[in-house]
Structure 1
Amino acid sequence: MIDVLERLRGGLVVSCQAYGDEPMNTADTMSRVAQAVVAGGAVAVRAQGIDHIEAMLAGLGVPVIGLWKDGKEGVFITPTLAHAVAVAAAGAEVVALDGTSRRRPDGLSLAETIAGLREHHDVLVMADVSTFEEGIAAAEAGADLVGTTLSGYTDYTPKLAGPDLDLVARLAGALDVPVVAEGRIHTPAQATEALARGAHAVVVGTAITHPTSITRWFADAVATARPLA
């Protein structure tokens, strides 16, 4: 597993996810997206859902950070031990899960979840947090990586227009485990700045793999600039 961390070091991880009834939300489509981003230089991919993880593993050649979103509010990123075990069983080398201070649906603590997972599988754990204090607690609970994924996505953290680079820097300066910058990274400049602030790796999703959002950015800009008839 040390090899996985080294492969991530200083690299770009691409989150290959689609949502709900979107046209791209099939395991075959997202596995092809994963192949495309690896061809472009991604050192790993982040995948959501058991069938998507299993489809991406075949011949991909890079680590898969797997998660299972269940629900839309509260703790829904790999929310229980059972979800985490299933993600690991699907073949993900890294299991990403909610690492916030919020109550988990099965009542287990983060430390209990991580320990329980390791009773079943020898995998790395990435804790998605939203605050500095949660990042410290996640590392103490046994997480191998701490991601800034949920900064701005909990009801007690402000959503910035861009990535929370200050949180990246604070965690990188305080933790012995790698810090992964994730969340609203939309430009190469933001990605490189995250690395300069101490991130071990950078995760980019929407700006690369979500055409609906990218199209909306352009459509909104064009609509705003459209001359009046």
Structure 2
Amino acid sequence: MISIIAPKSLVVSCQALSHEPLHGSYHMAVMARAAREGGAKGIRSNSPEDIRAIRAAVDLPVIGLWKRDYEGFEMYITPTLQDAIDVHEAGAHIVALDATDRPRPDGLDLKETMIQLKQRGIVIMADISTYEEGIQAAEYGADYISTTLAGYTPYSEGPLPRLELVKRLSEKLTVPVIAEGGISTPEQARIALEHGAYFVVVGSAITRPQLITAQYISAMEKSGESRKGL
């Protein structure tokens, strides 16, 4: 497979949920333009509306997904076959979906979902949380394996980022392995590439200013506490 996104590049995840200050397709399109100006080679985007807006704003490949809550189900990243089709039809070059073994809202298993997507010629990024899930998704035909959900399933909880998982999967698979999830510094992104990541996806550390601000505030408050002990 010829990769849609250049190797050793940065993909910026431009997402804002409904309760966040930058929620809305206009803001995400502007964020994508800023990412492109900074040198990003791809954008990861949530929802058909945002995908369409970003496609109109920048000439970069878009990894599309759709975060949806279905009552009684844990997965929320493109949980159903129809969600994935809708993301593709909105203009996503690559469709990202939850590739864990958890039950899917439409009753299909992961293998059947991926078979139907591949029959439609859709390029798939499998968001996994464990080594075993990565191996399985590759066997089912995923075009990319991403560590997006490592640390975000009940059975994979732990500190982020999971760069050792990136390394293990990269050493085992011929499918491109993508480092995503909790990468918060340029140094971590560099190490991810050294561990075999095909490219790196960074989101909150770049595109959620409220979280970046909070990190500064937290560090400054700790400085004040240390002075009290003098």
TM (norm. structure 2) is 0.93
Matched with 1:79 is 79
Tell me if the contact between 2:166 and 2:196 (Cα under 8 Å) persists in the aligned partners: yes
**Separation of aligned partners in 1, 2:91 and 2:65:** 11
Matched with 1:117 is 117
Matched with 1:133 is 132
CA deviations on 1:91-114 (whole Å, 9 max, x unpaired) are: 100000001111111111112111
Matches within 5 A, 1:2-151: 2-4=2-4, 7-71=5-69, 74-120=74-120, 122-151=121-150
Tell me if the contact between 2:29 and 2:57 (Cα under 8 Å) persists in the aligned partners: no
Aligned residues: 224
Instruction: Please point out which of 165, 168, 171 is paired with 2:166.
Output: 168
CA root-mean-square deviation: 1.4
**Separation of aligned partners in 1, 2:57 and 2:43:** 13
SS at match of 2:17: coil
**Which stretch of the first structure deviates more once superposed, 98-107 or 124-133?**
98-107
Q: Percent identity?
A: 48
- How far did residue 23 of structure 1 move? 2.0
**Separation of aligned partners in 2, 1:177 and 1:101:** 19
SS at match of 1:29: helix
**Separation of aligned partners in 2, 1:114 and 1:8:** 24
Tell me if the contact between 2:55 and 2:91 (Cα under 8 Å) persists in the aligned partners: yes
- How far did residue 125 of structure 1 move? 0.3
**Separation of aligned partners in 2, 1:124 and 1:118:** 7
TM (norm. structure 1) is 0.94
- How far did residue 3 of structure 1 move? 4.7
**Separation of aligned partners in 2, 1:184 and 1:25:** 21
Give unmatched runs, 5+ long, in structure 1. none
